[in-house]
């Protein structure tokens, strides 16, 4: 998939990136003792790749892209998580996968189902509410690259997502509630940002204490 390569086809940079992805997939398969079953290691906060702006995808991976997408999906499910960006597995490309089964209808987070999809070079912008101003919703969220912790982040309740999928087809849709939060979280990863950059740090809690004490949004 390509929009027209930013670098010459077959360039040393592209070949090195493709080789790195092939090696990553091979090592994951070997660790899992069988092809097609490998889970990729998720890098944690402090790794430089999480703080670098991901490169636009211009077809650098060629026929390796489907393998990376499949491995990212397996890794996201195994974590478990609802989104995973390529930098989180050490690949600095603007690619992410998202999927969430959702929860019960009365969930205040508006956690409606988000079907699996691949987002290539995603962007988002807030969608105004009835009063013409963007609405924001504040809830705890966590990150597979900041394992074991959550904090309250106020995010846009509704966003317009634009991207391409893995085939190059355009994506242009409006999402609200938890699906909108997932898209914002994963797109921020591609800009070198972590959710903690936008969090109310006084609400930072371990996963265990969030269950034990509940979701405290305002600590003064």
SS3 assignment, position 198 = helix
**Residues of the chain whose pLDDT is less than 70?**
1-12, 30-37, 215-220
Alpha-helix residue ranges (DSSP H) falling in 135-206: 177-190
Q: What is the pLDDT of residue 104?
A: 77
Taking the C-alpha atoms of residue 184 and residue 178, their distance in angstroms, rounded to an integer, is 10
The pLDDT of residue 8: 37
Q: Are 92 and 66 in contact (CB under 8 A)?
A: no
pLDDT at 216: 59
Q: Is 8 exposed, middle or buried (0-12, 13-18, 19+ CB in 10 A)?
A: exposed
pLDDT of residue 161: 98
Q: Which tokens sit at 69?
A: 């997408």
Q: What is the pLDDT of residue 5?
A: 35
Residue 87: partners with Cβ closer than 8 Å, 6 or more residues away: 43, 49, 50, 52, 54, 93, 189, 190, 192
Q: Would you call 186 a catalytic residue per the annotation? A: yes
Paired tokens of 175 = 């999402």
pLDDT for 185 equals 98
Question: One of 133, 141, 186, 208 is an active-site residue; which one?
Answer: 186
pTM confidence score: 0.89
């Amino acid at each position: 998939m390509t929009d027209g390569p930013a670098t010459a086809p077959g360039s040393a940079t592209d070949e090195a990136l493709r080789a790195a992805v092939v090696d990553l997939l091979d090592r994951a398969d070997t660790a899992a003792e069988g092809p097609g079953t490998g889970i990729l290691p998720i890098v944690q906060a402090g790794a430089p790749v999480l703080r670098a702006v991901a490169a636009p995808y211009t077809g650098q991976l060629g026929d390796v892209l489907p393998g990376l997408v499949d491995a990212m999906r397996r890794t996201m499910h195994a974590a478990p998580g609802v989104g995973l960006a390529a930098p989180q597995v050490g690949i600095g490309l603007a690619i992410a996968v998202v999927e969430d089964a959702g929860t019960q209808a009365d969930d205040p987070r508006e956690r409606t189902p988000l079907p699996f999809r691949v987002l290539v070079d995603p962007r988002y912008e807030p969608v105004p509410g009835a009063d013409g101003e963007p609405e924001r919703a504040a809830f705890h969220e966590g990150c597979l690259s900041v394992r074991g912790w959550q904090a309250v982040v106020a995010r846009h309740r509704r966003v317009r997502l634009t991207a391409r999928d893995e085939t190059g087809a355009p994506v242009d849709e409006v999402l609200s509630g938890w699906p909108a939060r997932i898209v914002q979280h994963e797109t921020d990863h591609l800009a070198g940002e972590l959710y903690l950059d936008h969090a109310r740090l006084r609400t930072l809690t371990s996963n265990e204490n969030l269950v034990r004490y509940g979701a405290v949004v305002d600590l003064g």
